[in-house]
Amino acid sequence: MAVSLGSSWASALPDGFDIRVLTDQVPNARQMVESESGNIYVGTRRQGDVYAVVPNNEMKGASVHVIASDLPMPSGVVMLNGDLIIGALNQILRIRDIDTVYANTPNIETITDELPDATHHGWKYLERDSEGFLYLNVGAPCNICLSEDERFASILRMDPATGDTTIYARGVRNSVGFAWHPTTGLLWFSDNGGDWMGPEVPLEEINVVSTPGEHFGYPFIHAGVVKDQNYGADKNPDDYTKPAFYIRAHSAALGITFYTGDQFPAQYKNALFVAEHGSWNHAPGAPRGYQVSVIRETGSGLRYDSFVDQWLIDGKVTGRPNDVLMLRDGSLLISDDQNGEIYRVTYSGDAD
């Protein structure tokens, strides 16, 4: 049964919203995707498992099935024509007709196993486009460095029929979240800034790919304006694409999703929800992130607000949001890889 989180959680959301635990049986839950039947498939990083979360008819609870085990960081998941695509360290995998086989040890096919196998920032996040191409991140294999393999620090576009890739975005240090804008059709993505540059430097980035192949700065320029001390001395920040929005340094902005449903109030239509995993490299006594935030377009630009901020209480970390997913019923799921939980946010107030 879905568990209510009590009054303290209710006060951590805007008026009219409710949050409950759909399941707490998904250790290290990372990216999520909903299938046509309403099953939720969930990747992991350290756990090495991929899960099927099958909600009951009233979304008041769910059964959980392990559908794959002992994979190298299988954090990315996306649906493609009824198949589940899994992004692991150096592999893109496929389980055909997943909704019919998830409970019976399904067969796993390999689309490719020729991606870079560096474990530093090696976890994947997946998306697809309307033509059936896949999109995946290949993070920098270091904190800040210049790699010979140009696939590092990029977002790749992949043909799932062949496994062939092209570079869709360059200079992307460590993106763990991207989504298509519902009206412009452009790809937005989060990017985590470098460590050991300062407690408030560099800012986390929300970026937009306007032209495939464009360069977002790393490792030469950080957050659009900061020249790297080792690689940026002779670089001009104006030669690189600047972020569309900034989030506080070290908040670890990960999964993102645009809200296109009808359940939430109109002010959230096409808003971008962001899972902020939370800081580890911050000034003493100044942790930040550990929340789900929302970015909305206004007449004067983009507005940023906290949406759920109950995972950091009096300096104590109680959970780490990793991904956000809008379901077809208009509710919002949040994965928590520290607690192995998936939360479901609903709205019962006036949606006007």
* 290: in domain: yes
Alpha-carbon 317 to chain mean position: 20
pLDDT, tens digit, for every residue of 197-240? 988 999 999 999 999 999 999 999 999 999 999 999 999 999 99
* 224: in domain: yes
pLDDT score, position 351? 58
What is the identity of the amino acid at 74? Answer: P
* 3-state helix vs strand vs coil in the chain, percent to 5: 5, 40, 55
User: Token pair of 208, please?
Assistant: 């937009």
pLDDT score, position 99? 98
Q: Is the pLDDT of residue 25 over 60?
A: yes
Mean pLDDT of 251-268: 98
* 165: in domain: yes
pLDDT score, position 140? 99
Rounded distance between C-alpha atoms, residue 167 and residue 119, angstroms: 20
* 352: in domain: no
* 8: in domain: yes
| Counted domains in the chain | 1
Residue 154 pLDDT level (bands cut at 50, 70, 90): very high
Q: Is the pLDDT of residue 3 over 70?
A: no
Closest C-alpha among 261, 350, 347, 349 to residue 307: 347
End-to-end CA distance of the chain: 30
Q: What is the pTM of this model?
A: 0.96
Mean pLDDT of 272-301: 90
pLDDT, tens digit, for every residue of 311-322? 998 889 999 999
Closest C-alpha among 39, 128, 115, 114 to residue 85: 128
Mean pLDDT of 125-151: 98
Structural domain range at position 330: 3-347
* 225: in domain: yes
Q: What percent of the chain has pLDDT over 90?
A: 89
Q: Is the pLDDT of residue 12 over 90?
A: no
Strand order of the sheet with strand 134-138?
126-128, 134-138, 154-158, 165-170
CB 138 within 8 Å of CB 92: no
CB neighbours (10 Å) of residue 182?
11
Rounded distance between C-alpha atoms, residue 78 and residue 70, angstroms: 19
pLDDT score, position 262? 97
Q: Is the pLDDT of residue 352 over 60?
A: no
Q: Is the pLDDT of residue 345 over 70?
A: yes
CATH, residue 114: 2.120.10.30
